[in-house]
Amino acid sequence: MVKQIFEKPVGSEQPRSLELRGKQGSPTRTLQIVAGFAIIWAVAMALTMALRSGPVPSAPTLGPPGGDHCHQGEPPDEGGESPGDNNSCSFVLVESLPLDMPYAASSPEGQPIAQTWGRLLEMARESVHVASYYWSLTGADVGVNDSSSQLGEEILKKLESLPARNVSLLVVGSIPTLALASEDLRVLERAGAQVRRVNLGRLTQGVLHSKFWVVDMRHIYLGSANMDWRSLTQVKELGAVIYNCSRLARDLWKIFQTYWDLGTPGAAIPPSWPQNYSTSINSHRPLDVDFNGTAAEAFLAASPPALCPQGRTHDLAALLQGIREAQEFVHISVMEYFPTTRFQQPPRYWPVIDNALRAAAFNRNVPIRLLVSCGVDTDPSMFAYLRSLRALHHPEANVTVEVKVFIVPIKNHSNVPFGRLNHSKYMVTETVVYIGTSNWSEDYFSNTAGVGLVLRPKASDPQGRRWAARQLVQRVFDRDWSSDYAVSLEDLPGHPDCACT
Ligand SMILES: *[C@@H]1O[C@H](CO)[C@@H](O)[C@H](O)[C@H]1NC(C)=O
Ligand SMILES: *[C@@H]1O[C@H](CO)[C@@H](O)[C@H](O)[C@H]1NC(C)=O
Ligand SMILES: *[C@@H]1O[C@H](CO)[C@@H](O)[C@H](O)[C@H]1NC(C)=O
Ligand SMILES: *[C@@H]1O[C@H](CO)[C@@H](O)[C@H](O)[C@H]1NC(C)=O
Ligand SMILES: *[C@@H]1O[C@H](CO)[C@@H](O)[C@H](O)[C@H]1NC(C)=O
Ligand SMILES: *[C@@H]1O[C@H](CO)[C@@H](O)[C@H](O)[C@H]1NC(C)=O
Ligand SMILES: *[C@@H]1O[C@H](CO)[C@@H](O)[C@H](O)[C@H]1NC(C)=O
Ligand SMILES: *[C@@H]1O[C@H](CO)[C@@H](O)[C@H](O)[C@H]1NC(C)=O
Ligand SMILES: *[C@@H]1O[C@H](CO)[C@@H](O)[C@H](O)[C@H]1NC(C)=O
Ligand SMILES: *[C@@H]1O[C@H](CO)[C@@H](O)[C@H](O)[C@H]1NC(C)=O
């Protein structure tokens, strides 16, 4: 029996500190609007199967709720650069488009994730670090016999061959996880991979939801795709690969290392992370990078607060900053949008992001477009919040708030559970792009481990706004927004492939 599992943080009490931080998160920043780009985030989806494993052992709460994590205080100094480390990086947008969605197949903007993953693994010479939520790269992992699982199976083979090539493979996964019958991690361990599982259910009442790779400490992948064959052929996903970017790669590795250390038996979140986990790369002091010849800035943000060592920007703060700095438009694509908690009892209203969007639309006349996803398993209560947000729309008063629902047609793929969904999570403004790992509701920022990458062209660069990478993400959004699969709220009722109607 196939059942959907929500990425449900177990337990009920959560630190309230995040909410406060959300409000303080963007302190007196008098910035000129930074020409911006992207927060790229990894995220996920509970595409899955099986299990419904009952409550996960719940336990002590996380670290210091009032701790000074994820602040943006004075960072330590980063050591010098390694030789050959000139921050001249190349940025590639990657996408998975579900099979049988011809609209996008004819106008792919990103490179296919499956192909890019394969290339990264072939390129690896020394090490591959993978942060993951769950594994189901084979059809057998989820009890499905479908030819579309083949690409995932090929990726698993490539991963399996790394240790024999003297490339160390380090994988960190989550407890709780999904696809419990999966053999993938055991296969990799037998091949010589080092695997650790982080019990975030116990540590933060959440899950490890990050999805990223660090290859040879120089190249990174970060995006919404899980280590799941469906993320390559059945689910809409979006991510970024950045080649030859060792400083950013080392910074992402520091995030990996926080998970790695928490993956030992009985590990506890330290009240304060040791100094070598801190970063000097954050929203206040982004890294100067040359992306495909354009001067840009980049930083990585993380959640939850307890997993942010000194200097690390919290992902919610990064996201809110992107909204607050927008002057011309905010375009958002998320799987799920709730201005509430999702998994706590009693539920709590949490309008942190919602307010930021309303304020941008009302106070600054910034047009907002929100594209959410709907599948057969979507919780229909989401639509009340979407209608509420959209109620602000008042073009005569120059307040523009548009909402559409993206529906991936099931067609003849009903044999693939939790496949036909839009899983991408990103935001693009005239200056910033955010590609995330989280649904937009409180729990994902307070309990769940995620990571985001923010990229923006340097404000001082007159070409900044025309930066190809930002424009690419914008084209992807425009393509999807104007496709037949994006349905307005009025046209939803009766749609066969969306539960929300
Ligand atoms: C987002 O919401 C969907 C639908 O509730 C759920 O299946 C999925 O696991 C959630 N989490 C993420 C990170 O996508
Ligand atoms: C940085 O390195 C790349 C590749 O090694 C090279 O093409 C580029 O010219 C270098 N940039 C600078 C500013 O030295
Ligand atoms: C999967 O399906 C194909 C044809 O649809 C069949 O030939 C094959 O034996 C099946 N494999 C398994 C393991 O059931
Ligand atoms: C892997 O490393 C070992 C020890 O350094 C060496 O003997 C072996 O030849 C290497 N194998 C390959 C495939 O490079
Ligand atoms: C990375 O830089 C090296 C030179 O330092 C170059 O040969 C290689 O093609 C670059 N890789 C990518 C993917 O751009
Ligand atoms: C920090 O230093 C400790 C002790 O040397 C080491 O075990 C750990 O891996 C280091 N962590 C990072 C992120 O460098
Ligand atoms: C509407 O808002 C936009 C964005 O701030 C602004 O450029 C434009 O001038 C406004 N139009 C009117 C009629 O107020
Ligand atoms: C689904 O339909 C497409 C064409 O519309 C076809 O190519 C594919 O083989 C079909 N798949 C299955 C599992 O029936
Ligand atoms: C998923 O969201 C992206 C983000 O805009 C959207 O472009 C795409 O059409 C959606 N795809 C699916 C399958 O829902
Ligand atoms: C950056 O350069 C890489 C390698 O040449 C290319 O594949 C990619 O499309 C470029 N990215 C953008 C945004 O132009």
How far apart CA 201 and CA 60 sit, in angstroms, is 10
Instruction: Write down the mean pLDDT value for the chain.
Output: 79
If we measure between CA atoms, which residue out of 469, 396, 449 comes closest to residue 239?
469
Residue 74: predicted pLDDT: 43
Higher pLDDT, 101 or 72: 101
Ligand nearest to the CA of 409: 9
How far apart CA 69 and CA 72 sit, in angstroms, is 9
Ligand 6 pocket member 260 (CB < 6 A): no
Mean pLDDT check: name the lowest of 141-155, 318-332, 376-390, 423-437: 423-437
Q: What is the mean pLDDT of residues 276-301?
A: 92
Q: How confident is the model at residue 493 (pLDDT cuts 50, 70, 90)?
A: confident
Please answer whether residues 236 and 105 qualify as being in contact, where contact means their C-beta atoms are separated by less than 8 angstroms.
Answer: no
Q: What are the structure tokens assigned to 427, written together? A: 């935001």
- 216-257 pLDDT per residue, tens: 999 999 998 999 999 998 888 889 999 999 999 999 999 999
- 152-170 pLDDT per residue, tens: 999 999 999 999 999 999 9
Residue 251: predicted pLDDT: 96
CA angle 273, 8, 408 (to 5 degrees): 115
Helix, strand counts (H, E) of the chain = 13, 22
Report whether pLDDT(415) > 80.
no
Per annotation, catalytic residue among 423, 443, 458, 497 = 423
Please answer whether residues 452 and 281 qualify as being in contact, where contact means their C-beta atoms are separated by less than 8 angstroms.
Answer: no
Closest Cα to atom 10, ligand 9: which residue? Answer: 422
- 74-94 pLDDT per residue, tens: 444 444 455 456 678 999 999
Residue recorded with tokens 């941008």: 360
- Please report the atom of ligand 5 found closest to the CA of residue 90: 14
Residue 444: predicted pLDDT: 85
Per annotation, catalytic residue among 85, 100, 146, 216 = 216
Q: What are the structure tokens assigned to 81, written together? A: 């650069």
How far apart CA 216 and CA 126 sit, in angstroms, is 5
Instruction: Rank 166-175, 433-442, 444-453 by mean pLDDT and report only the highest.
Output: 166-175
Q: What is the mean pLDDT of residues 256-272?
A: 95
8 flagged as catalytic: no
Please answer whether residues 35 and 465 qualify as being in contact, where contact means their C-beta atoms are separated by less than 8 angstroms.
Answer: yes
The DSSP bridge partners found for residue 213 are 130, 221
Distance between Cα 4 and ligand 8 center (Å): 24
Residue 180: predicted pLDDT: 85
Tell me which of 41, 226, 336 to substitute to probe ligand 1's pocket, judged by most ligand atoms within 8 Å of the beta carbon.
336
- Please report the atom of ligand 1 found closest to the CA of residue 450: 13
How far apart CA 499 and CA 377 sit, in angstroms, is 6
Distance between Cα 90 and ligand 5 center (Å): 9
Residue 72: predicted pLDDT: 42
- Please report the atom of ligand 10 found closest to the CA of residue 468: 13
Phi and psi based region of residue 442 (left: phi greater than 0; alpha: psi -120 to 50; beta: remaining): alpha
CATH topology of domain 88-488: Endonuclease; Chain A (3.30.870)
Q: CB-based contacts of 346: which residues, under 8 Å, 6+ apart?
A: none
Please answer whether residues 281 and 300 qualify as being in contact, where contact means their C-beta atoms are separated by less than 8 angstroms.
Answer: yes
Residue 169: predicted pLDDT: 98
443 flagged as catalytic: no
Q: For the chain, what are the domain ranges?
A: 88-488
Please answer whether residues 282 and 243 qualify as being in contact, where contact means their C-beta atoms are separated by less than 8 angstroms.
Answer: no
209 flagged as catalytic: yes
Sign of CA dihedral 43, 48, 52, 56: negative
Give strand ranges (E) for 143-234: 168-175, 194-199, 212-215, 219-223, 227-228
Higher pLDDT, 333 or 79: 333
Higher pLDDT, 500 or 217: 217
How far apart CA 183 and CA 360 sit, in angstroms, is 47
Please answer whether residues 308 and 69 qualify as being in contact, where contact means their C-beta atoms are separated by less than 8 angstroms.
Answer: yes
Q: What is the mean pLDDT of residues 383-391?
A: 95
What are residue 80's phi and psi, to 5 degrees? -70, 180
What are residue 66's phi and psi, to 5 degrees? -90, 5
Q: What is the mean pLDDT of residues 192-201?
A: 95
Distance of CA 425 to the CA centre of its chain: 6
Q: What are the structure tokens assigned to 461, written together? A: 């660069």
User: Residue 319, SS3?
Assistant: helix
Ligand 7 pocket member 292 (CB < 6 A): no
Q: How confident is the model at residue 28 (pLDDT cuts 50, 70, 90)?
A: very low
How far apart CA 361 and CA 432 sit, in angstroms, is 17
Higher pLDDT, 415 or 47: 415
Tell me which of 81, 82, 85, 88 to substitute to probe ligand 2's pocket, judged by most ligand atoms within 8 Å of the beta carbon.
88
How far apart CA 226 and CA 178 sit, in angstroms, is 11
Q: What is the mean pLDDT of residues 398-427?
A: 71
How far apart CA 341 and CA 329 sit, in angstroms, is 27
254 flagged as catalytic: no
Higher pLDDT, 377 or 278: 278
How far apart CA 314 and CA 311 sit, in angstroms, is 9
Cα-Cα end-to-end distance for the chain: 25
What are residue 364's phi and psi, to 5 degrees? -115, 5
Per annotation, catalytic residue among 209, 254, 413, 458 = 209
